[in-house]
Structure 1
Amino acid sequence: MRAKRSKKYRKLMHQYELTFGFREAYQVLVDSNFLRATDQFKMELIPALERTVQGKVKPLLTKCSLAAIMAAQPINPKTEKPYRPLFLPPPTELPLRHCSHNADSTPIDEIECLLSLLSPSSDVKKNKEHYILATAEPILRKTNPNEPKRKWKTEDDRKEEEAMRRSKTLRSSARSIPGVPIIYVKRSVMVLEPMSNPSEMVRDGHERGKFRAGLDVDASLGKRKRDGENDDEEESDEEPKKKRTPKVKQPNPLSMKKAKKRPEAAAPKKKEAPAKPEGDDEAASKPKRKRRHNKGVHWEIEDAAESQPAEAAA
């Protein structure tokens, strides 16, 4: 698959996920024409579906579709049962979807069965189980181009026209149900249809609801209003807020020139006395006595010489 188409399908499935709640693994309802087409073009069922929806899938086959496939097969004379077709995958790959439309669970028409599973209620069309429908156009008989055209229609021609009409009816009825992705095989290519008009209307309404919910946000509370709460109760619970006074606009202080400081006459400072220790209170109260410095040695010799003549004269 080309990158451009795969990106387109990924965005489309993402829209189905956001709007209708689709999740992996996607449940895919396949019909008999889809199985015949995948076998004719040699497609692997699960890998081809996963490439188309860009995710994991879980294909399902209804009992009514299985009954329609087996009814078209020839009967084995030994077992008196129809042959199992080669295009029908094993139950491990394609599990059976049990559908009970009546009390005895007898199979009904394949198209009615698929539409009843896509929208169980006829009043409100809604894809509750999030199914994806996989269908295809019926395979026509190969005609000989050299054969002249017939003026009348044979029984096989009528069956082919009826099968083609029923296939178109199934797809048109599925488009009328919102939220039903449709996959079909055409010319050996598996295609995912764009979103139908009913699905687009639901998606647009969902997006408008999100937009309105965003506008209903209360600016004072800073959150959305809850359902069931009255505006009067909210206003009474809140305290009245004080109005803020408008601030006076001033120029940018960085752009202003700073004022120069003027020199002031400095007064002479007095020298502070050093702090006295607390323990020397008594010593501070007594007056200090002057110490007499010792004189040199020559002063002592002169005093001794003066005292000697005085003693001799006596």
Structure 2
Amino acid sequence: MRQKRAKAYRKLMSLYSMSFGFRQPYQVLVDSEMCKAAINQKLDFAKQLSVVLQGDVKPMITQCCIHELYLQGKEHQPATDLAKTFERRKCNHREPIPGDDCLLDVVVVNETNKHRYVVATQSTALRSKLRETPAVPVVHINRSVTILEPPSEATLKSKELMEDEALRPSASETSRLAPKTVPEEPPKTKKRTGPKGPNPLSVKKKKPKESTPAKKHVDNTARVGEKRKHEESEGASAPVDLKMEAEASGHKRKRRRKGKSSEVTEAKT
């Protein structure tokens, strides 16, 4: 078997084992047509099954399927001998029925593969019916190659449902959890947009203003009046004194004229 196909089969069987509980050795139900195909292709059927399913296998056959081989005569005696090496599976049918109906009755129980069987069959009608049931691996032979069919849509849907249920809490867990009251959040206020003020930590504190003493109102009018009186008294006493001095000296003091003094100074220069 090629490495790519073996990897795909290993991945597929891990899906069945992880999601649906398949365990080794895998129980493989074989029909009469599959025994004939294995003899015609000269295959080591048990070995091929273990290679395809990537594990130990337990081939099984029902009483109805082996009865079909008995009815076909000595021509298919090698297929009958191969079927005798498989484990017998009781189908609880008092009278033999067709192999397809027998396998469908054994595998599908309440629309599920309760006993986790792998079905090896060459019947296309049986394979189409088994695809409607989830978690039924189907094996067939195509030109001397044993093939494991990919999972059906029913299998993939049931896998998704199981995963969803696993994530949800069970009824006992939900009963234990008391409903918690969520506190109402206050309405969110819109942030102010615009220029921001300075950082209050970087601003210096203002110093308190010192209380200045009130200035005394000084009445300047009294001082101005006193000054004027003083000047007038000085001005009045000065000419009297000058006159007395002039009379005592015996000559009068001449006045200089401003015009003549300026002419004299110009002539000198």
Q: What TM-score does the superposition give when structure 2 sets the normalisation length?
A: 0.62
Q: Which runs of 5+ in 2 are unaligned?
A: 181-269
Q: Write the mapping of 1:22-171 to structure 2, written as runs, cut at 5 A.
A: 22-74=22-74, 85-89=77-81, 93-101=85-93, 105-121=94-110, 125-136=111-122, 167-171=123-127
Amino acid at match of 1:20: F
Q: Which residue of 1 aligns with 2:241?
A: none
Amino acid at match of 2:157: M
- Which protein has the bigger helix share? 2
Aligned length: 180
Deviation at 1:120, TM superposition (A): 2.6
Q: Which residue of 2 aligns with 1:192?
A: 148
The 1:92/1:66 distance shift into structure 2, 3 A limit, reads: closer
Q: Write the mapping of 1:217-256 to structure 2, written as runs, cut at 5 A.
A: 226-232=173-179
Separation (CA, whole Å) in 1 of partners of 2:140 and 2:65? 16
Q: Which residue of 2 aligns with 1:175?
A: 131
Separation (CA, whole Å) in 1 of partners of 2:31 and 2:141? 12
| Structure 2 residue matching 1:54: 3-state secondary structure | coil
Q: Give CA-to-partner distance per residue, 1:143-183, whole Å, 9 cap, x none.
A: xxxxxxxxxxxxxxxxxxxxxxxx22101001111110000
Check whether the contact 2:26–2:58 (CA below 8 A) recurs between aligned residues. Answer: yes
Q: CA RMSD in A?
A: 2.3
Q: 4+ residue stretches of structure 1 with deviation over 3 A?
A: 89-93
Amino acid at match of 1:66: I
Separation (CA, whole Å) in 1 of partners of 2:60 and 2:161? 31
Q: Which residue of 2 aligns with 1:9?
A: 9
Q: Which runs of 5+ in 1 are unaligned?
A: 75-82, 137-166, 217-224, 236-314
The 1:193/1:90 distance shift into structure 2, 3 A limit, reads: closer
Separation (CA, whole Å) in 2 of partners of 1:93 and 1:86? 11
| Structure 2 residue matching 1:85: 3-state secondary structure | helix
Amino acid at match of 1:27: Q
Separation (CA, whole Å) in 1 of partners of 2:17 and 2:165? 17
Q: Give CA-to-partner distance per residue, 1:198-226, whole Å, 9 cap, x none.
A: 0010011122334x34xx6xxxxxxxx82
Q: Give CA-to-partner distance per residue, 1:22-72, whole Å, 9 cap, x none.
A: 000000000111111111111112110000000000000100001111111
Q: Which residue of 2 aligns with 1:204?
A: 160
- The percentage of aligned residue pairs carrying the same residue is 34
The 1:184/1:90 distance shift into structure 2, 3 A limit, reads: closer
Check whether the contact 2:119–2:136 (CA below 8 A) recurs between aligned residues. Answer: yes
Check whether the contact 2:27–2:59 (CA below 8 A) recurs between aligned residues. Answer: yes
Amino acid at match of 1:203: K
Q: What TM-score does the superposition give when structure 1 sets the normalisation length?
A: 0.54
Amino acid at match of 2:164: R
